[in-house]
Chain A
């Protein structure tokens, strides 16, 4: 009997399942049902009626909704197949998700969120009947205060970008009350902060000023001095930025903004490398947001469900969206003061936000404890710098800025040398990595770093996982020099060879519902 040779870390044997699965509506067969509910016995019907007559006529549909009609195994097969056609976090090593940390989320968190005690709740219930989840939200708020040094958190925003939009709305309300709205119309951010830090305030009508990095990759303080003025409403920034470079002078930046009467908002979407190390308040920030779906382990995919927990200092609490959860004696209550006060932001989303996400985050935090969170930061930084060192040893890999110093929790590399040597681009590498069951992300447009590659391991991959990812990248770079055709033709073992994205910029070709798809593809 021969042992299987596992010495090569690269999974050359990977092949994705390909079902070319139809859309669920296409699988619909008239009259097919998953569950046939038996008729109620006469005795019961006589007592409670048919369950429908009691609904006022105005609220009743005239025709049933056009939902797909499929048997139970049909539904199960459909979604199982779709799940096999993705590179989900439970299938592959999620390291190439730069700026979008997908750490492993312990399954217990999901099990808790699926308990009937959670799933059967309705946010309109009387507060004395939902004391459990209110307590969890309140306690998570208290934990977030500890982590950030700020004074109060809302869990309403349903994403990181909505967290930034909430900060921009708070900024707007703050200056409205001071009577300075007209004058303060500029928001300063940095080139390597997440693009949403510009986009969200731009939606509010703010003028956006970008600070470029200096030659070391730190936000250029001299340029910043020129940017800050009586027109500055706020400075919204990520630190570390997408490059993984931490600005150690950040306090000078926030102090200057405060001196000119502006506010400071901190994009802490990825706080992985900073838990228990630095705090937003200590760096001089008036507000920040955390992505529970990144740093605090609640899984996210396809854009949800998520939570951009947004916190502020005491002087800004009155602008927060409501309701806020408070403890009074041994009871937890909804404080709606800010919800209905025209001075405040009011609401950014219905009810209290996505409650199960807060529950999952709370479960994760409680399983880690304070020391555990600090450990997360240390391991995330260690993982990243281990990978950074290994990758920088490869001839064609480089990373601009702070040469020889360690990064925080991610790095934006450049493959420019490889591209000029071989013509293979970062986009080609992305498609080839799929052949090994790997995900790989380059950067946000426009590419400020040429031929970028952004990797963020987080604390969850093991050394074996890191080594496998590094070995796979190493092999692909080698192919770029020795066998570029295999890269150019990639993906070779994936579900779709190449997606025709020619219609991406043409709204006439967008259909986000089944109905609009039918309408736009109707034969004339």
Chain B
């Protein structure tokens, strides 16, 4: 018997159709503007590929439209957990349900929603249990979501069949909706969820098994450390790709922030833009970043501490981009992206850049 959790955020996505750029705290207004729920149908679609598993699958869901109703419509007999809420469902219900599901020992949580929902799940369970997101929100910046509801279900099915052996820590990104409604994009990196990744393993003599993401990240870290110069300050950006650099230096790491390192010592952890500008004054410094999220942003998403002011001071030649080959290939020929809020800095960064992809290995990649 396999067990999974299934959570639907029934109000996710409602704000989008009526121009609200998000539904956080605005569900009522969205309804008044005539928005219809969208997530329940999307969530239900994600269950379709699991139909043939019914007999050997125990599904835990919150009550009513938060999962129970969708699962029943798809012919499952879910075990309802959590509180029977009346009226508006909210973030607290999502968090409570996810926590409870981990308690029950589910192997996977399938959830339908957007970036806000992913944040709630992350704050409840961290990296404890693998998750797969069914895209149903207005904002889908976090690469924890499958491309479509159908694909999310197929991925879940592969996972339950024991065919997925690789996991990625995928970023949970969310923009500040208040600022976004005022036309500013400020994404924050909130954390990482554990996501199963489909990797083809071919029994083929001419193609060895690809290195795991972790091994590749480690070889990148060693390359970076071997090339660190004395007296130069390194601004280590957020991300699971940059983490092994700090680990190999024996330093604590702020996964979601920027750490300042010089001569093997930690100068400042989780530095703000202000700290960075002060610490790098009159000094040689280099910035180490990795593309954040599924779309390949190197600046302007999830690392706003590395502002256009900092980047202008650094200059393009002092920016070190790191990414595993797999990560770059997943961009499918699309360029790396920058969105610093300053056109001239964006232009300076545009063109081509060397990306370190392993020990003594680089790829030349386009930046736009």
Q: Which one of A206, A223, A423 lies within 8 Å of B366 (CB-CB)?
A: A223
Please give me the residue from chain B that is nearest to A426 by CB atom: B200
Question: Using Cβ atoms and an 8 Å threshold, which residues of chain B touch A444?
Answer: 206-207
| A-B CB proximity, top 9 nearest | A223-B364, A207-B360, A445-B207, A210-B363, A445-B210, A226-B352, A209-B362, A208-B361, A223-B352
B207 and A442 within 8 A (CB): yes
Q: Which residue of A lies closest to B212 (CB)?
A: A505
Return the contact of B361 from the options A210, A430, A445, A451 (Cβ within 8 A): A210
Assembly CA distance A198 to B357 (angstroms) = 13
The answer, yes or no, to whether B1 is at the interface (CB within 8 Å) is: no
> Does the CB pair A213–B333 fall under 8 Å?
yes
Alpha-carbon distance between A191 and B365 when the two chains are bound, in angstroms: 11
Is B154 an interface position by the 8 A CB rule? Answer: yes
The reply to whether A427 and B357 contact each other, CB–CB distance below 8 Å, is no
B362 lies within 8 A of A207 (CB): yes
Binding site for B on A (CB under 8 A): 99-100, 191, 198, 202, 205-213, 215, 220, 222-224, 226-227, 420, 423, 425-427, 430, 441-448, 450-451, 499, 501, 504-505
A100→B332 CA distance, assembly (Å): 26
Chain B, 151-207, CB within 8 A of any chain A CB: 151, 154, 200-204, 206-207
Could you tell me if A441 and B354 are in contact, using CB atoms closer than 8 angstroms?
A: no
Contacts of A226 in B (CB 8 A): 351-352, 354, 364
Contact status A443-B357, CB under 8 Å:
no
Q: Do B352 and A442 touch (CB < 8 A)? A: no
Are A209's CB and B206's CB within 8 A? no
**By the criterion CB–CB under 8 Å, are B210 and A446 in contact?**
yes
In the complex, whether B326 has a CB less than 8 A from a CB of chain A is yes
Identify the closest chain A residue to B353 (Cβ).
Answer: A226
In the complex, chain A residues whose CB is within 8 Å of the CB of B210: 445-446
Contacting residue for A206 out of B202, B207, B354, B360, CB 8 A: B360
Closest residue of A by beta carbon distance from B147: A420
B99 proximal to A (CB < 8 A): no
Give Cα distance in the complex from A93 to B68, angstroms. 54
**Interface of chain A, helix or strand or loop or mixed?**
loop
A505 to B, closest residue via Cβ: B209
* Cβ A210 vs Cβ B360 within 8 A: no
Q: Which residue of B lies closest to A217 (CB)?
A: B333
Does A427 contact B364, Cβ atoms closer than 8 Å? no
Verify A446–B325 contact, CB threshold 8 A: yes
Q: Within the assembled complex, what's the spacing in Å between the Cα atoms of A226 and B366?
A: 11
Cross-chain pairs A/B with CB under 8 angstroms, 20 sampled: A205-B360, A207-B362, A209-B361, A211-B364, A220-B364, A222-B351, A222-B352, A226-B364, A420-B151, A426-B202, A441-B204, A442-B202, A442-B204, A442-B207, A443-B207, A444-B207, A446-B325, A446-B326, A447-B329, A451-B200
Give the CA-CA distance A450 to B329 in the complex, in Å.
9
Q: How far is the CB of B323 from chain A (nearest CB, A)?
A: 12
Contacts of A191 in B (CB 8 A): 363
Q: Smallest CB–CB gap between A466 and chain B, Å?
A: 23
Q: Are B360 and A427 interface neighbours, CB within 8 A?
A: no
Which A residues are CB-close (under 8 A) to B203? 427, 499, 501
A446-B210, A499-B203 known, 20 other contacts, Cβ within 8 Å: A100-B206, A207-B360, A208-B362, A209-B361, A210-B357, A210-B363, A213-B333, A215-B333, A227-B364, A423-B154, A427-B201, A427-B202, A430-B204, A442-B200, A442-B202, A442-B207, A444-B206, A444-B207, A445-B209, A447-B329
CA distance A145 to B363 in the complex (A): 34
B25 within 8 Å of A (CB atoms) = no
Say whether B87 faces chain A, with CB atoms less than 8 Å apart: no
CA distance A227 to B353 in the complex (A): 9
